[in-house]
């Protein structure tokens, strides 16, 4: 099953500020999330329905809607 990615404006702004070498790694992780959003170093965040995926020094914060096969990228943080 393939998941659709929806990137929030906040995450887009964060990605623009990341150095290009790291941005490439993060974009590769986002591409991999199309097939399996829970693969890699993923942890569910306490008290929310959100998850985080670690990519080097950065964290991708996202939610998953299994009913609609969609992943919402909330933010990318250092």
Contact 21, 13 (CB under 8 A): no
- In the chain, the number of structural domains is 1
Q: Which domain holds residue 12?
A: 4-77
pLDDT per residue as tens digits for the range 41-69: 999 999 999 999 999 999 999 999 999 99
C-alpha span between 71 and 76 (Å, rounded): 14
Contact 37, 22 (CB under 8 A): no
Q: What is the CATH number of the domain that holds 22?
A: 3.30.2310.20
Contact 54, 22 (CB under 8 A): no
Q: Supply the pLDDT for residue 35.
A: 92
Contact 51, 74 (CB under 8 A): no
Q: Please check the confidence at residue 1 and state whether its pLDDT lies above 80.
A: no
pTM: 0.91
Q: What is the side-by-side order of every strand in the sheet holding 51-55?
A: 4-7, 70-77, 58-65, 51-55, 42-44
């Amino acid at each position: 099953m393939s998941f659709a990615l929806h990137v929030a404006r906040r995450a887009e702004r964060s990605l623009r500020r990341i150095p290009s070498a790291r941005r490439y790694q993060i974009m590769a992780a986002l591409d991999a999330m199309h097939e399996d959003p829970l693969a890699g170093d993923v942890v569910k965040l306490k008290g929310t329905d959100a998850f985080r995926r670690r990519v080097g020094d950065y964290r991708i914060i996202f939610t998953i809607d299994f009913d609609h096969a969609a992943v919402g990228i909330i933010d990318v943080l250092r």
